[in-house]
Amino acid sequence: MSIQGIGPTTGLTGSNSLQVGDKSTSGKAENFGEMLKAYTEQMNHDKKAAASASEALATGESVNTSETLMAIQKADLSFQMMLGVRNKLVDAYREIIRMQV
Per-residue confidence (pLDDT) for residue 5, from 0 to 100: 67
Provide the terminal-to-terminal Cα distance of the chain, rounded to the nearest Å: 56
Residue 20 or 70, more confident: 70
Residue 59 pLDDT greater than 70, yes or no = yes
Predicted pLDDT at 29 = 58
Q: What is the pLDDT of residues 12-57, one digit of tens each?
A: 444 444 444 445 555 565 798 899 899 999 999 999 999 999 999 9
- What does the pLDDT read at residue 6? 67
With beta carbons less than 8 A apart as the criterion, state whether 36 and 75 touch: no
- CB contact set of 1 (below 8 Å; sequence gap of 6+): none
